[in-house]
Homo-oligomer: A and B are copies of this chain.
Amino acid sequence: MRERVFLLLDAGHSEEPMARFVDIFLISLISLNVIAVIFESMPEVYAQYGPWFDAFEIFSVGVFTVEYVLRVWSAVESRNPRFKSSVKGRIRFMLSPLALIDLIVLLPFYLSSLIGVDLRMLRALRLLRAFRLTRYANSMNLLLQVLRDEGPVISAALFVLLMMITVAASITYLAEHKTQPEAFASIPHALWWAVVTMTTIGYGDVVPMTLIGRICASVIGIISVGMVALPAGILASGFNEALHQRRRKYERLVDDVLEDGVIDPDEHRELRQLQEELGLTQHEAASILKAGYRKLNQSTEICAECGKIVLITGPDSPEEGTPKRLSKFG
């Protein structure tokens, strides 16, 4: 029973129809919550549909409370050994980032009901639920892993950026605070200008006017276009490498699976699972499989009608079974 609940609530078990339904239901509810928060903030919309929004909020809180309790209860069924022990494991689970967000989002509602504080302000916190959607996206893990791997370098780039912003703000403050005593009243005021300039946003609400100020701003602007895009470039390179590793992992499984020349249903399921886990597209998976067959000197073709892989084993004995199994796969 507890295991079944765990599997239903755990994301990514798309084979079982019930688990998939729970996934879709939760994704929809979270998305609707985000949309509700946005529209609720419009006075004219809230004036007209206020009660509906409140009712939807109560319903959502109910569902998420039940989900939260069930998740904590069934956490011990997780494959992660950290959550195995019945008390310490559950506390550890409750302190994991995503479970904490769940709690933070639920608390304002209960607190405001108990104490009677105005909860309108804290309602926007419900937007944080959106972060839970990351649980359902495989590519997100890749993004986070790259962020973690490239962490120290990106921190260094950010540190240099912050240092440059501070120095730029100070110099421009010295140059401008006599001409524009309001916009450049102090270094914190100049910091606002420096951030807006170095990120190339350039609102135009604060603009240097003295010659020295403009020369500083020009130098800063030119340096910043090189500096600011650096973290993005490093992330993108890291990303690309991680994508390659992911493909190589799939290639290795394809090679293992094709050692006997055929893909039996078990191996077929295994391939599909890894493909989902790694977040590979149909097209990528098919082209890796095709390359695997090519190594065995078996030519394949991508079917023009359905985009699936068809195995051509030779002119005399077309092995009908395999292509069909492959068609299912590709």
Contact = CB atoms under 8 A, between A and B. Distances in A.
Interface of A: 34, 37-39, 41-43, 80-82, 121, 124, 127-128, 130-131, 133, 137-140, 142-143, 148-161, 163, 166-167, 170-171, 173-174, 185-188, 191-192, 195-197, 199-205, 207, 214, 217-218, 221-222, 224-241, 243, 279-281, 283-284, 304-305
Given A124-B173, A131-B163, A225 B199 contact: yes
29 contacts: A34-B166, A38-B170, A38-B187, A42-B185, A42-B187, A81-B304, A82-B305, A127-B170, A137-B159, A139-B152, A143-B153, A143-B160, A148-B283, A149-B284, A153-B239, A153-B279, A195-B218, A195-B221, A199-B200, A201-B201, A203-B203, A225-B229, A229-B232, A229-B233, A230-B232, A233-B233, A233-B239, A238-B240, A240-B241
Count copies of this chain in the complex: 4
Contacts of A205: 204, 207
A106 B154 CA distance: 31
B231 A166 contact: no
Given A138-B152, A233-B233, 12 more contacts: A41-B186, A137-B159, A142-B153, A143-B153, A143-B156, A154-B226, A191-B218, A192-B214, A197-B201, A230-B236, A232-B232, A233-B237
A170 B138 CA distance: 26
Nearest to A173: B41
A269 B218 CA distance: 42
Contact of A202 (B138, B186, B202, B225): B202
Given A81-B305, A158-B222, A225-B229, A196 B191 contact: no
Contacts of A127: 166-167, 170
Contacts of A233: 229, 232-233, 235-237, 239
Contacts of A171: 124
A174 B238 CA distance: 36
A250 to B, nearest CB: 14
Given A42-B186, A130-B163, A240 B237 contact: yes
A127 to B, nearest CB: 5
B202 A203 contact: yes
A41 B187 contact: yes
Nearest to A241: B240
A227 B234 contact: no
A218 to B, nearest CB: 4
